Structure 1
Amino acid sequence: MTSLADAPVRADTALLRLGDALKDAGYAFTAVTPATYERVNGRPGNARGRALRDVLGWSRPFGPGDLPDRFVTLLDEAGVLHRDGDLWRATVRCSSYDGGLFFHSAYPPNAPDAVFFGPDTYRTADAVAGHLRTQDRPPRRAVDIGTGSGAVAVTVARHAPHAEVLAVDINPAALRFAAVNATLAGCGDRVRAVRSDLLSAVDGTFDLIVSNPPFMIDPDRRPYRHGGGEHGHDLPLAVLDTAVQRLTPGGSLVLFSGTGIVDGHDPLLAAADERLAGTDLRWSYREVDPDVYSENLDDSYAHAERIAVAVLTATRAA
């Protein structure tokens, strides 16, 4: 007789088997912005899913006969299939990056414990990979703060195969996805998912700190999206403050964030400059994309002329 404690283990095993089956089927899907999901799914003929990418990429409802039985069984065993009569939905999506597959929350990600994966995930992972390629000495201990799906932590593990990598988050759903996705990527033994608010539950210092924390001004205050404060920068700046305290000599921070530009002024850049003044960190800041999420300019960003995303890199003197 199995106990209730066994249920999450069985579900995660089934999710891993689903991931392997998707790999064998040649599945691939590029995660897009919520606005693109809404627009593409609203086109004629896209109301119902009839293929794996429809169901596990575009989060379209489906029903009996639309998918091969083995995939329906695995969705069921993983606890990620919601049935309402003949209208079924997968409660996860699966997106691809750098040859790997990553499970995360279905669209629309409105639940309080939603786990985000989208264009900013790709940008952050690319920035981290690019940073690691420039380093003469690979990190021995690294942490991804606000790991979400764990995609960035996996990227660190792939580029620094001898590093201990922690994937921290306050969201238990994120930690589950991060652990499953790391195992699916073949580095589950080197990526450890830890529940922690920033680094409050983690000891020691780090050679590398990476983060793509929530950074938006979100009226609904969804945890995966809302950064806090007047500009949505409370969490990114908290990560910056944490790095000042916890980086080793020669250690680096790679912080990806968004910022609303007001009359040509970047409030995140100004706040970072103030916080880093007087520290021993050398840092740089660059816009990765000058104009994103324009659908928000009519409401929570009505004061801004554009929303940009930027990468801040800081390195402690050796």
Structure 2
Amino acid sequence: MDPLRELGEALKHQHYRFTTVTPATHARVNRRPENAWARNLHDVFGWSRRFGPGLLPSRLMSLLEAAGALERDGDGWRSRVRFSTYDDELFVHSAFPTAGADAVFFGPDTYRMADAAAAHVEARNTPIRRAADIGCGTGAGAIAVAKRAPEAEVIAVDINDTALAYARINTALAGQDRVHPTRSDLLNDVDGDFDLIISNPPFMIDPAARTYRDGGGPDGNDLSLAVLDTAEKRLAPGGSLVLFSGTGIAGGRDPLREAAEQRLAGGGLRWTYREVDPDVYGEELDDEAYRHAERIAVVVLTATRAR
């Protein structure tokens, strides 16, 4: 068994649970002097805090080391992975801070995206035979769909090999063998049509161009629009898209909605668009990339092809 999967199974056996917060909240909480050192499993595997000798059982230390996920930090150690819970499942993802080019993000947007996908599946009155999660990351959305669509084959695609490795572990931890993590740029390397496509692509304007974060283009919307274009080509009759994204609002204008409206003007898909949270990642407004924006909103766009 993969050591990270074995580590996840061990944490599940100890009823480990952790809710991951935003990076800004994580940094703020970890700056408190009393949080300089880990005191328990949540501090090590949730808060990514340094820990000293004897805190972790030897078996967990051995599994971290075998997975290449244990690193020295001064006179202590630190885990290179975190484990978070959603929908009664456990997900391995990258440690804080997620600064690496191949970092695998999990946080509040993951919960919102997976909730939106799950709600859409539960509201459908037709079965889902084939689904895709574009930019699957940890696989949380794909797993949420598979749990609610028992007849569906779910293809979880990403271009990040670390994300695919973690998604395979998370799929195994959830016991969802109908989820198939697959390397693909959008759906270019996957054949066929889909009854459901879900996606939470990167949507930030990121001067560092980190794969998990940079949405591309002047507004950070290029990847979201590419997902929309892909869905228009690959949705089966009656198929639907659930796109969770973000957008910088400037002068009351939403550039993602405006661009989506232009693309969908042909009428091939019926669609809705709503703000899930009108004000997120406020700390980004201090940076040059968002000096034009007055707020950043997260949104859900759903689109359905007629039968």
Band of TM-score, shorter chain: over 0.9
Question: In 2, are the aligned partners of 1:146 and 1:168 still within 8 Å (CA)?
Answer: yes
Tell me the CA shift for residue 84 of structure 1.
4.7
Q: 1:56-111, CA deviations, whole angstroms, 9 ceiling, x for partnerless residues?
A: 00001112112222221221222211135632111100000011100000000111
Q: 1:246 to 1:72 in 2, by over 3 A?
A: same
Pair 1:233 & 2:221 matched? yes
Question: In 2, are the aligned partners of 1:154 and 1:185 still within 8 Å (CA)?
Answer: yes
SS of the residue 1:277 aligns to:
helix
2:158 aligns to what?
169
In structure 2, C-alpha distance between the alignment counterparts of 1:122 and 1:85, rounded to whole Å: 34
Tell me the CA shift for residue 137 of structure 1.
1.2
* RMSD, matched Cα: 1.0
1:15 aligns to what?
4
2:286 aligns to what?
298
TM-score, normalised to structure 1, is 0.95
Q: 1:163-191, CA deviations, whole angstroms, 9 ceiling, x for partnerless residues?
A: 0000100000000000100110010x211
Runs of 4+ aligned residues of structure 1 deviating over 3 Å after TM superposition are none
2:211 aligns to what?
223
Higher deviation after alignment, 302-311 or 14-23: 14-23
TM-score, normalised to structure 2, is 0.98
2:105 aligns to what?
116
Pair 1:157 & 2:157 matched? no
Q: Given residue 245 of structure 2, which amino acid in structure 1 is its aligned partner?
A: S
Q: 1:124-165, CA deviations, whole angstroms, 9 ceiling, x for partnerless residues?
A: 000001101110112100000000011111001101111000
Question: In 2, are the aligned partners of 1:255 and 1:312 still within 8 Å (CA)?
Answer: yes
Q: Given residue 21 of structure 1, which amino acid in structure 2 is its aligned partner?
A: A
Q: 1:278-309, CA deviations, whole angstroms, 9 ceiling, x for partnerless residues?
A: 13200000000000000000112110110000
In structure 1, C-alpha distance between the alignment counterparts of 2:74 and 2:54, rounded to whole Å: 14
Pair 1:125 & 2:147 matched? no
1:276 aligns to what?
264
1:56 aligns to what?
45
In structure 1, C-alpha distance between the alignment counterparts of 2:111 and 2:26, rounded to whole Å: 17
SS of the residue 1:219 aligns to:
coil
SS of the residue 1:31 aligns to:
coil
In structure 2, C-alpha distance between the alignment counterparts of 1:296 and 1:179, rounded to whole Å: 32
In structure 1, C-alpha distance between the alignment counterparts of 2:16 and 2:73, rounded to whole Å: 26
Q: 1:199 aligns with which of 172, 182, 187?
A: 187
Percent pairwise identity: 65
In structure 1, C-alpha distance between the alignment counterparts of 2:57 and 2:278, rounded to whole Å: 43
2:174 aligns to what?
185
In structure 2, C-alpha distance between the alignment counterparts of 1:307 and 1:281, rounded to whole Å: 26
Q: 1:213 aligns with which of 198, 201, 221?
A: 201
Higher deviation after alignment, 204-213 or 61-70: 61-70
SS of the residue 1:53 aligns to:
helix
Pair 1:75 & 2:40 matched? no
Q: 2:234 aligns with which of 246, 251, 258?
A: 246
Q: Given residue 239 of structure 2, which amino acid in structure 1 is its aligned partner?
A: G
SS of the residue 2:17 aligns to:
coil
Question: In 1, are the aligned partners of 2:50 and 2:73 still within 8 Å (CA)?
Answer: no
Q: What does 1:138-157 correspond to in 2, within 5 Å?
A: 138-157=127-146
In structure 2, C-alpha distance between the alignment counterparts of 1:190 and 1:250, rounded to whole Å: 22
Q: 1:285 aligns with which of 253, 273, 279?
A: 273
Q: 1:230-250, CA deviations, whole angstroms, 9 ceiling, x for partnerless residues?
A: 100000000000000000000
Q: Given residue 196 of structure 1, which amino acid in structure 2 is its aligned partner?
A: S
Question: In 2, are the aligned partners of 1:50 and 1:67 still within 8 Å (CA)?
Answer: no
Question: In 2, are the aligned partners of 1:291 and 1:308 still within 8 Å (CA)?
Answer: yes
In structure 1, C-alpha distance between the alignment counterparts of 2:304 and 2:18, rounded to whole Å: 34
Ranges in structure 2 where 5+ consecutive residues have no aligned partner? none
Q: 1:43 to 1:85 in 2, by over 3 A?
A: closer
